[in-house]
Structure 1
């Protein structure tokens, strides 16, 4: 096995692109191990509805990345206190064998005095609380098994970022199953930072001070940046792949009750109806037509309504109030 140095990159879009490049484009019989730490981000499962899994206002206001990964499973929150590991191997014979890929991590945690264990299909727990979720993906005759390790993550931010605002949503998406979680740092007999923890984990897995390296070439980095640009940095991948879903939101505003029913498919508004007891002179259907086909996100709707006077449709209604209702 060889270790892949990601050059301390914390952009989740690039780190996921490194992982995909190692899976699809690097042909080696030797297993590869990748560690990466991401800036604050919500990493979505391949089949999830992005809007259903996050608080979009909190994510936007706090500059938190939202990125969809290749593997399935639930949404996870990453920040600079979260260490991620990925084993990339030839063949698919170990697909669904999470014990094999989490065992090296568990063994090192035991050496550090942390009584971690695999519970259920793919999660690591300490003292009855979750510290790691794992997922897998296979392609091109290869596979990866990757997971998170909550070392010193801001749990309050995590819970706010992946807790959707209160709204009625009907969706075909797979919802995340949220568990009680804990940070590894709280269970260590010897305190350390995440860099030291990463090094101890690395040395423990390889069992030696001499870590065999797999060095990414300039050509590798060109392919990695291309993957990131074509997939992980695109709205179409991160939001547009969301399953079809319906939203119903109702609120008592200064102009009266406003009720919005929105159908979204592939991240775009397919149909929208606005009802209520507000007193408008013009047919609100004119406004609805302007929103059909738009991306279902705040910026797109805000731009579409930038030059629109809402008074003829609703009376004295602030655009901010309407935006807050719709998105």
Structure 2
């Protein structure tokens, strides 16, 4: 496994580096690992409506970066007390979105430090029922990107103020606030340590398991990363990209995440549609949205249009009948 040392804390650079390692270094069949931290920022899931996820006044007052990532899932708050890990590996297409497999090394590291952690729900790691890590993935036929947050000593007060959380998520989690559902790793360690020492413990464990080789970014690598920053991660269209007003909106929280469907209807026909949410999927959602254009906005026509589409490519782990019933309802 290659390890790329990265001390940059600019979230635009770090997300561009991740995407570059995943996609443009995809000629490498080897595995890559990154460990990195961001200055205070909100990192939004690929399919989310940014404006609906962040507390904009708080973002402005605290000069937070708001950056969209290429993986699905929900928005997360990052600061220098949070350590992020990334694996870019060959894709095991027979077992898509296996979060537990790729987050198990973190559980093993914590166990070696005297902390019992467990995989909890679809993509979280928890200590004593409290979440400290959210994980997300993006994949194509060749490569898989798996990354996760590790709340080590984050400012949980700012975390709770930075994000908007819908009431249906509170209800589904049976909790009253974001702050009450999360924890920092530091408070569970038998002996205090710095975040740098924690990072070193992860590296030692992974080196023992995989065997590390350093990968040093070339000048061409760095130019490609800078291009991604300029053309994507610094742009309003990627990070915010607000959708126009829609004539019809509906939302539902499935076991695999929330889906919000927005339609423009003219003379009973769908002239535009967008889907948002904290779900996962491995196909371009624009393609799915395109399938629904110019379809009559009624159940029989919608079911016929969706009959031949493999919806789980776009909405992973949401049964097709449940999704179709939601769209047609």
SS in structure 2 at match of 1:42: strand
Aligned to 1:72: 72
Higher helix proportion (structure 1 or 2): 2
From the superposition, tell whether residues 244 and 47 of structure 1 become closer, same or farther in structure 2 (CA, over 3 Å).
Answer: farther
Residues in 1 aligned to 2:133 and 2:54: alpha-carbon distance in whole angstroms? 20
Aligned to 2:52: 52
Aligned to 2:39: 39
Q: What TM-score, normalized to structure 1?
A: 0.68
1:15 aligned to 2:52? no
Matches within 5 A, 1:274-289: none
Structure 2's unaligned 5+ residue stretches are 168-176, 248-261, 265-329
Aligned to 2:182: 181
Q: Is the 8 A contact 1:67 1:232 kept in 2?
A: yes
The alpha-carbon deviation at position 139 of structure 1 amounts to 3.3
Residues in 2 aligned to 1:229 and 1:46: alpha-carbon distance in whole angstroms? 18
From the superposition, tell whether residues 20 and 188 of structure 1 become closer, same or farther in structure 2 (CA, over 3 Å).
Answer: same
Matches within 5 A, 1:300-319: none
Aligned to 1:194: 195
The alpha-carbon deviation at position 90 of structure 1 amounts to 1.8
SS in structure 2 at match of 1:182: coil
Matches within 5 A, 1:235-246: 235-240=236-241
Matches within 5 A, 1:130-279: 130-139=131-140, 141-163=142-164, 178=178, 180-207=181-208, 211-240=212-241
1:263-298 superposed Cα distances (whole Å, 9 cap, x missing partner): 9x9xxxxxxxxxxxxxxxxxxxxxxxxxxxxxxxxx
Residues in 2 aligned to 1:19 and 1:208: alpha-carbon distance in whole angstroms? 22
1:189-229 superposed Cα distances (whole Å, 9 cap, x missing partner): 11111111111111112118974211111110100010111
Q: Is the 8 A contact 1:5 1:34 kept in 2?
A: yes
Q: Is the 8 A contact 1:88 1:143 kept in 2?
A: yes
Q: What TM-score, normalized to structure 2?
A: 0.68
Aligned to 1:29: 29
RMSD value over aligned CA atoms?
A: 2.6
The alpha-carbon deviation at position 99 of structure 1 amounts to 1.4
1:131-179 superposed Cα distances (whole Å, 9 cap, x missing partner): 100010013621101100000000001111113799xxxxxxxxxx957
The alpha-carbon deviation at position 243 of structure 1 amounts to 7.4
1:100 aligned to 2:101? yes
Aligned to 2:88: 88
Q: Is the 8 A contact 2:11 2:39 kept in 1?
A: yes
4+ aligned runs moved over 3 Å, structure 1: 208-211, 241-246
Number of residue pairs the alignment of both structures matches: 238
- Larger Rg computed on CA atoms: 1
SS in structure 2 at match of 1:22: helix
Aligned to 2:295: none
Q: Is the 8 A contact 1:24 1:140 kept in 2?
A: no
